[in-house]
Structure formats: structure tokens, C-alpha cells
A and B are shown apart, each in its own frame.
Chain A
Amino acid sequence: MFERRAQPHGTLASVILIAASLILALLMGAGLVALAQVSPWEAYRALFYGAFGRIYGLVDTFVKGTPLLLAGLGMVIAFKAKVWNVGAEGQIYIGALFAVWIGLYVGPLPWWLHLPLALLAGALGGGLWGLIPGVLKAYLKVNEVIVTLMLNYIAILFVSWLVHGPMEEPGGFMPQTPRVATTAQLPPLFPPTRLHAGVLVALAAALLVYFLLFHTTLGYRIRAVGAGPKAARFRGIGVERTVVQVMVLSGMLAGLAGANEVLGIHYRLLDGISPGYGFTAMVVALLGKLHPLGVVAASFLFASLSVGADMMQKIVHVPIAISRVIQGLVVLCVLGTEILLLYDLVPLRRLHQRFSSLRFRREG
């Protein structure tokens, strides 16, 4: 049925395949929507209207896509090195904490100093939270999946304790910190919409990660450790050192995602600042085929699906669960294209040959 290709398909073919797989996922989703006694046509119209049809929907897509993009880039770095960082969620929380810390307690400073400092602190916080499992994995051979997973709980509950206690807004009723100084806030781009400068930070980060992976010696080491750990070690690459660096970088990007949320949306630290962005980021990274620019597309696609799904539920009353299933189908279908990039489907090729031979005969 399948034959392995000598070389994978090129970029054009993979873009076409991914587009086709998206359509396939939506078709399968249409079947589910129909089962829910809703016209798929109406449902998808609502979905697209929700995500792209109104300015607020579009803004929402970008706002939700930004943390996904940042954390997803972190996942790309980790997964490229075959380091399984599943702790982005915790790294987001610690990043948010560090950023808010600077925003609240450092200053007064001019915005051009305060904002970068707060963002940097967020990245450092996430990086610190990545450093721990990185060192444990590299030098003590402790499984990073377990450590990062557990550190998630520590981070989330630690932040929760802080906003319920030591950092709680004096005289406030909600478990949250006071607002950070305006000089530390990510400025809105098109007020009164929620779109803020964080999206620009994220897009710049995507370009930087691309450059890092493919144009620097560190990126070379990261990819070598992932693709051929034995060969890398054999030719003098410090695998342990690289693993630690990978975890720190990965955590920094997740931390930046956390900083982005508190400095651009909430302006303060509170419980539940991330509805699982750290986990969705893993899916987004895979959906983007572990390529920084692919992750840009994947994160905004995913955000648009989730924003559109809300509208789908509001207008045509499709249960939200079904839209989650559609998101799942998208992931499965896109990841499924992998096999078509690496393998030839024999019946399909036969069809193609018959077709081209027919054409040839007609011309001849």
C-alpha cells in the first residue's frame, strides 16, 4: 500500500497536502455537526464569521494566538532536540509572576525600560522553571516528562497562593494582585480592541527562533542532539550542555507567553491566567511541523478555530464539545499528512500513471 520515498516531498506539495487535510478535517467535522441536528453549512458560516467576520473576532484570534505562538515556539525548540518539555503551563505561570513582579515593585521607570525589563523577567522566570528539569535530565538522567509535569502543579498552585495571600491587592475582593504600572504594560495597537503589542513580540520571536535553529551553532547543536544524539556525542557536541540550554530556551519562550498575558491582557496576576495554553502549545508545535513559521500559521489557525467555535455555539447552538472534536480532527489530519510526505500511496500513484498515460495517448 505504502512505499517509502527516497526523499520527502518538497514545500509546495506539503502545503497542498496540509490544506487538503484541513478540508478533510472540516468535512468530517461537518458530519458530526449534522449528527447534532445542525446544518453544517450554517455552523461553518458561524465559525468563519466568528473568527474572521467581525473585527472583534479577528482581534480575538490574534489575542488568543499570541500566547500559543510564543509557547509553541518554545515547544519547537524542545521537540527539535527530542526533549519532551510538557511543562510549558508551569513556565507560563512563573513567567507571568516574574513579569508582574517587575511591573509592580520596580520603578518608576520610563516605559522603554520598564516594559522590556518586565518581558525579560518573564522570560527569565520561565527559563528558570525550565532549567530545573533540564539539569535533572542532563546530569542525573531524571525523566523530563515527569519533572516538567509535576513542576506545572507547583507553579500554578504557588501563583495561586501568592494571589490569595502575600501579593493580594490590598483592600480588594478578588484573589488578584494590583495592576502593574502602565509603563510596564504592552500598549494596545488599535484601541478600543484588545489587540496589543504582544503579537508583534511573538512574531519577532518566531523569526528569531527560525534564525536560531537554522543559522547559529547553537541551533545546529540543538537539531543534531535531536536527530542524531549518538553522532552528536561522537563528534564532540556536549549533549548534556545542549539539553540544559534547550530546556532554558524553551522555558523562556513559555515564560514570555505568560508575561504577554499579564502585561497585555490582565495587567495583573490572578488565578487561571492560562486556560491550558501550555498544553495546546504542544499540539500547535506539532501542527506546525516543528517549524517556527509553521507554528505561526498553526497557532493562529488554532486560535481562530476556538474563537469561531464560541460563535458557532452562540449562533447555531452546536455543543462546544463538537468544536473541540473538530480541533482534534484538524490535528490528526494534519499530522496524518506526514505519512504522505514520506511515503507514496501506491493506488494513488497508479491512478496518476493511468491518467498521464491516457493523456499521452490522446496527444500522440
Chain B
Amino acid sequence: MAPILCMRGITKHFPGVLANDRIDLEVEEGEIHALLGENGAGKTTLMNILYGLYEPQEGEIVFQGRPIKVSSPHQAIGLGIGMVHQHFMLIPVFTVAENIILGLRSSRGLVLDMEQVQRRILDLSERYGLGIDPNAYIWQLPVGLQQRVEIIKALYRGAKLLILDEPTAVLTPQETRELFHILRSLAQQGTSIIFISHKLNEVMAISDRVTVLRDGRVVNTVLTRETSQTELACMMVGREVVLRIERPPPAPGEPVLEVNDLHALNDKGLPALEGVSLRVHRGEILGLAGVDGNGQIELAESLVGLRRPTGGKILVKGRDVTGSLPSTLIRMGVACIPQDRKAIGSIGEFSLAENVILGSHDQPPFARHGLLNRQAIRRYCQHLISEFDVRTPGVDLQARALSGGNLQKLILAREVSRPHDILIAVQPTRGLDVGATEFVYRRLLEERQNGKAILLISTELDEVLCLSDRIAVIYEGRIVGEMRAEEAVAEEIGLLIAGSRREIGIGRRDESRSTADRKNSFAKETRERV
């Protein structure tokens, strides 16, 4: 097999940062090539260069045996390079077919030829097992299918090389398996794939070869079957990484956070929480597992005062705080790492120093009599940056310039450095690399050792299993199971997450619920009969 793509000596520097330093990358025809590296290692920059979004200062790109110069995505697509971004570029109110032909010329001039388009889409869908209906509207499709629409979009334009930027970040485990199936079928039929990821298990599962980047340089390119997760982790981080976290035995104290029969609506005004009851004790991590969109966000927002519950009670240290303002809850000792680092956790235009006083900007020593003490604020930020190992040139940097991991460390630092008894961590490691994830885990456990009550809300089952003392599962706004971590079995939780309920009755049973529910109980009955 001949290489379809050769990138040689690619160098790209931004002011103050060497993002790519003489990078070589070779991709064979029909190969799934993983590009592995921590956030900020230069993966995305390299791919943006290939896709024509950035121009390299040095280096050459040879595609299908010809040296090429890509100066726009349009040109990249014309050459047969397609990219599926992490954030989809689809128009929700358009159909699949309409989205796919967006920006293309019709074979009939000004008139659309939808029939022919649909035929081609169905052909592609069948050939690679994508299962896409060209007439479905995007907004009707789950995320996993939307991603396949993006893949078809690239194939429709004749992509020979497909770049997937962290494609599994938005998928459920089931969807991930299906995606891998599709990728294999694509590769078998000659499409080359560059798979960007920082998840080791996925890279091991899907790729033929792996190129590891660190600090803008290629560490090595290895055959996947000749390497191991540990070796890859080591190359990626540059040192030995502890993938398993040591957890001292729990010593829970009195409950500090109690949630009783909580009800709340989502943004569309539909019931999102339908009687959630939880209890988190001092010195304990309660892991709340569940697939995205089962009420986790609404629960977290109710707990920090961003959403007014429609029923039930929230008690903090025995005091009723249902419907209190965020400022009251901060004073009551509720800290929170929100799921959205950029829009909720921080202010991108603000400096790091201004970000670390969010929530205590009017407290001494940061302010007295309404006047800010900028000296004290900068000193405090400096202190947090060094204690939490936030990599930054200084405290005056805009928060938007930080990488995901460093921003998360900054938010974590801000929240746990303020007096608090409860920490609510929502998806605290989403999108973080191994190093930063390890750091967050260690800090959460430290919090636990310090006698704080921690509610960990996560869709990553591994994360919940690895950190929690007790595990609760949320499904369609209810707690459908709760167990001690020692008793937890991954498969069982997996079933609960997917909505197949255990008999032990937490929460009311209600037969006339959603179709999904009915289907699930039907499935369970079938199993029981067998």
C-alpha cells in the first residue's frame, strides 16, 4: 500500500507558541491512523493545516503522490480531504439531503435535483452501513446519527481521506461502538481515516497505527498491535501515568446535602426532574451516573440556584435552601464545577485574575468598600496558579486562551479555595487529557479526605466507578438505582443507565410513561419470562 498522505517537516508557530515543530505524518491508503496527544499537543493545529484553515511556516504536504498547497477548506474538499468537526456544521431545520448538498452545485443549474441526491445518499449509506434516511430532519436525529450525516457529507464530496476530530466525545458507548463499525467498513473499502483522540482505549480499539504528539512534536509512530495503553500514555504525557487511582477507605460523616423528592422543569418547560432524592455525607463521593439529558443538568442547576424547583426540598447542612439565589448557596458552602467551562464556569474575556474572584469579588481582601484591591487579586491568582499547576504565562492572560485542562484547573482552584462544605462536579473531566484528568481525580479525592461532601455527576461510567463511594443512577429525571461502590457491577449500572429498572423501588412506578420506558419494561418482562 502506498501512502495517501505525507506531511513532512510541518512547522507552525503562533506568537509565543510553537504549535507544530517539524511534524512528519504518513497515512496509508485504507488505514485508520490515530493522532494521539494531550490537549495543546498540536493535533488540532496540524489537522487545521491539512484542512486549509492554517498555513504552515515550513514543511510540505504530499497527497496522492502530488505535492499540494491547501489554503482553504474548500480546496481541501476539492482534493478529497474531508473533516468531521467536534461541533457539527449542520442546519437543524434542514433535512439530511438538504444539509449534504449545501454549498454544492446542482446538476440541473438553478433547480435542485433532490431525487438523484437522495439516491446517492442512500447508496453511500448502504455501502458503509450508515443507516441514514435522507429525508429526516437534523433536529430529529440523535447526536450519533448527526455525526454520520457529517461523515456522509464528506463522502458525498468525494473524500478519500477523512479527518475525525475527537468523534467519540459526544457519543454514548453504544454509539461509539457503531461508529467504530462504520469506520472499519470505510477503511476496508479504501477510505483513509485520521482519528484524533486522547482516549487510549479507543485508540487501541480502532486504529492500525498511532502517531503520538507531545508539545508540538512527534514522539513516535507505532503499530497499534505492537503497543499498549501504558506505553502510549507514557509517550503522550512524557512520564509514567497512574491510570488507576488509589482510594483510601471512606469515612462518611453526617449528611450535608439532602435532596428530597425534587421536581423541576427543563428549558422547554417539560418535566426534567420527577422526584429525585439524594443524600451526600461529609467525606463521601456520591457518583450520579446516567446518559446525557436525563435531568443531570437540571439537578445541578437546582442545587446551585440557577433553576427554581417546582417541588421538593433541598437541604444544606439541615437548612432548607430550596429556590435560594446562587449567592446564598455560595455563602452556604456549595461549590460547583459546572459542565460548561467556557460559558458558565468562566468568562473568556476576563483575565485569569478576574476569573478567580468570580463569586467572591466583593469579599475582603479582594474588595473593601466597593473598591477592588487589584494587587491582592493578582497575588491570590498567582497563588492558585502555582498551587493548582495552571500552565500560563501570567495572571493577565485572557481565560479564553487557556487550554481546556488548564481552564478546568483554574475553575477547580477557584471553587475549592473558597470556604465550602459541598462540591458539585458536573462532567469535571469532559474533554480533558490524561494528565489533567488525573489531576482532577486526585483533587476530588483530596476534597473527600478533607471532609467535604462531593456529588460527582458524570456520563463516564469508568469515572463514576473509579471515584465514588456510593453510586446512584439517574434515568428520565428519577433515581432508578443506588448502591455502594463495592457492590457495583459495571454491566448492571449499564443496564440501569439505559433505562431498564431494578425491582427495588426507589421512586414511584408509573406505567403510562414514555414509549422508551414501556419498551424497556417490555424487554425486562421478556427477559424474566425467559
Residues of A within 8 A of B (CB): 3, 5-8, 214-221, 223-224, 227-228, 230-238, 346, 350, 353
Determine if B99 is an interface residue (Cβ-Cβ < 8 Å).
Answer: no
> Which of B224-232, B310-318, B355-363 forms contacts with chain A?
B355-363
Known contacts A224-B347, A227-B348, A227-B349: A234-B304 contact under CB 8 Å? yes
* B359→A236 contact, CB < 8 A: yes
| Beta-carbon contacts under 8 Å, B311-354 to A | 325-330, 336, 338, 340, 343-350, 354
* A346→B16 contact, CB < 8 A: no
User: B354: nearest residue on chain A (CB-CB)?
Assistant: A220
* A235→B326 contact, CB < 8 A: yes
Chain A to chain B contacts (Cβ below 8 Å), 6 pairs? A6-B17, A215-B371, A220-B372, A227-B348, A230-B340, A231-B344
* A215→B374 contact, CB < 8 A: yes
The number of residue pairs between A and B whose CB atoms lie closer than 8 Å in the complex comes to 91
A237 to B359, CA, bound (A): 7
A234 to B306, CA, bound (A): 7
Q: Kindly list chain A residues whose C-beta atoms are within 8 Å of the C-beta of B346.
A: 228, 231
Which of A223, A236, A353 counts the most chain B CB atoms within 10 A? A236
Q: Kindly list chain B residues whose C-beta atoms are within 8 Å of the C-beta of A223.
A: 350, 354
User: B418: nearest residue on chain A (CB-CB)?
Assistant: A235
* B15→A5 contact, CB < 8 A: yes
Cβ distance B16 to chain A, nearest Cβ, rounded Å? 7
Q: Kindly list chain A residues whose C-beta atoms are within 8 Å of the C-beta of B187.
A: none
* A6→B343 contact, CB < 8 A: no
User: B331: nearest residue on chain A (CB-CB)?
Assistant: A236
Q: Kindly list chain B residues whose C-beta atoms are within 8 Å of the C-beta of A3.
A: 53-55
| Beta-carbon contacts under 8 Å, B34-55 to A | 53-55
* B344→A234 contact, CB < 8 A: yes
* A230→B343 contact, CB < 8 A: yes
Determine if B170 is an interface residue (Cβ-Cβ < 8 Å).
Answer: no
Q: Kindly list chain B residues whose C-beta atoms are within 8 Å of the C-beta of A350.
A: 55
Determine if B91 is an interface residue (Cβ-Cβ < 8 Å).
Answer: no
* B370→A235 contact, CB < 8 A: no
User: B366: nearest residue on chain A (CB-CB)?
Assistant: A217
A108 to B371, CA, bound (A): 38
User: B338: nearest residue on chain A (CB-CB)?
Assistant: A234
Which of B16, B54, B55, B304 counts the most chain A CB atoms within 10 A? B55
* A231→B14 contact, CB < 8 A: no
Q: Kindly list chain A residues whose C-beta atoms are within 8 Å of the C-beta of B397.
A: 7
A116 to B269, CA, bound (A): 52
Known: A220-B357, A220-B361, A220-B372. 18 other contacts (CB 8 A): A3-B54, A5-B14, A6-B14, A6-B15, A216-B371, A217-B362, A221-B361, A223-B350, A223-B354, A228-B350, A230-B340, A231-B343, A231-B358, A234-B336, A236-B329, A237-B358, A237-B361, A238-B325
Cβ distance B91 to chain A, nearest Cβ, rounded Å? 24
A230 to B326, CA, bound (A): 12
Determine if B277 is an interface residue (Cβ-Cβ < 8 Å).
Answer: no
Cβ distance A187 to chain B, nearest Cβ, rounded Å? 32
Q: Kindly list chain A residues whose C-beta atoms are within 8 Å of the C-beta of B64.
A: none
The 4 closest A-B pairs by CB, nearest first: A236-B327, A228-B347, A235-B359, A235-B358
Q: Kindly list chain B residues whose C-beta atoms are within 8 Å of the C-beta of A346.
A: 55
User: B349: nearest residue on chain A (CB-CB)?
Assistant: A227
Q: Kindly list chain A residues whose C-beta atoms are within 8 Å of the C-beta of B401.
A: 6-7
Cβ distance A224 to chain B, nearest Cβ, rounded Å? 6
Q: Kindly list chain B residues whose C-beta atoms are within 8 Å of the C-beta of A217.
A: 361-362, 367, 370-372
Q: Kindly list chain B residues whose C-beta atoms are within 8 Å of the C-beta of A237.
A: 327, 358, 361
* B338→A236 contact, CB < 8 A: no
A215 to B346, CA, bound (A): 20
A232 to B343, CA, bound (A): 10
Q: Kindly list chain B residues whose C-beta atoms are within 8 Å of the C-beta of A230.
A: 340, 343-344
User: B12: nearest residue on chain A (CB-CB)?
Assistant: A3
A232 to B327, CA, bound (A): 10
Q: Kindly list chain A residues whose C-beta atoms are within 8 Å of the C-beta of B54.
A: 3
User: B17: nearest residue on chain A (CB-CB)?
Assistant: A6
Determine if B398 is an interface residue (Cβ-Cβ < 8 Å).
Answer: yes
* A216→B372 contact, CB < 8 A: yes
Cβ distance A80 to chain B, nearest Cβ, rounded Å? 10
A236 to B330, CA, bound (A): 7
Known contacts A217-B367, A231-B344: A353-B57 contact under CB 8 Å? yes
Cβ distance A223 to chain B, nearest Cβ, rounded Å? 7
Known contacts A216-B370, A353-B57: A233-B306 contact under CB 8 Å? yes
Cβ distance B339 to chain A, nearest Cβ, rounded Å? 11
Q: Kindly list chain A residues whose C-beta atoms are within 8 Å of the C-beta of B327.
A: 236-238
A135 to B177, CA, bound (A): 53
Cβ distance A350 to chain B, nearest Cβ, rounded Å? 8
User: A353: nearest residue on chain B (CB-CB)?
Assistant: B57
A5 to B19, CA, bound (A): 13
Q: Kindly list chain A residues whose C-beta atoms are within 8 Å of the C-beta of B354.
A: 220, 223-224
| Beta-carbon contacts under 8 Å, B165-195 to A | none
Cβ distance B173 to chain A, nearest Cβ, rounded Å? 30
Which of B15, B347, B361 counts the most chain A CB atoms within 10 A? B347
CB contact between A234 and one of B16, B17, B326, B350 (< 8 Å): that residue:
B326
* B374→A235 contact, CB < 8 A: no
| Beta-carbon contacts under 8 Å, B52-69 to A | 53-55, 57
A231 to B354, CA, bound (A): 12
Q: Kindly list chain B residues whose C-beta atoms are within 8 Å of the C-beta of A8.
A: 398
Cβ distance A193 to chain B, nearest Cβ, rounded Å? 39
* A231→B361 contact, CB < 8 A: no
User: A220: nearest residue on chain B (CB-CB)?
Assistant: B361
CB contact between A228 and one of B348, B359, B367 (< 8 Å): that residue:
B348
Which of B325, B357, B370 counts the most chain A CB atoms within 10 A? B370
A231 to B330, CA, bound (A): 14
A3 to B57, CA, bound (A): 13
CB contact between B347 and one of A215, A218, A227, A238 (< 8 Å): that residue:
A227
Cβ distance B458 to chain A, nearest Cβ, rounded Å? 19
Q: Kindly list chain A residues whose C-beta atoms are within 8 Å of the C-beta of B343.
A: 228, 230-231
Cβ distance B424 to chain A, nearest Cβ, rounded Å? 12
User: B372: nearest residue on chain A (CB-CB)?
Assistant: A215
A227 to B367, CA, bound (A): 20
Q: Kindly list chain A residues whose C-beta atoms are within 8 Å of the C-beta of B371.
A: 215-217
Which of B14, B348, B374 counts the most chain A CB atoms within 10 A? B14
Q: Kindly list chain B residues whose C-beta atoms are within 8 Å of the C-beta of A5.
A: 14-15
A217 to B354, CA, bound (A): 11
User: A223: nearest residue on chain B (CB-CB)?
Assistant: B350
Q: Kindly list chain B residues whose C-beta atoms are within 8 Å of the C-beta of A216.
A: 370-372
A235 to B367, CA, bound (A): 16
Q: Kindly list chain A residues whose C-beta atoms are within 8 Å of the C-beta of B357.
A: 220
* B367→A231 contact, CB < 8 A: no
A352 to B397, CA, bound (A): 26
* A224→B358 contact, CB < 8 A: yes
Cβ distance A154 to chain B, nearest Cβ, rounded Å? 34
A98 to B327, CA, bound (A): 38
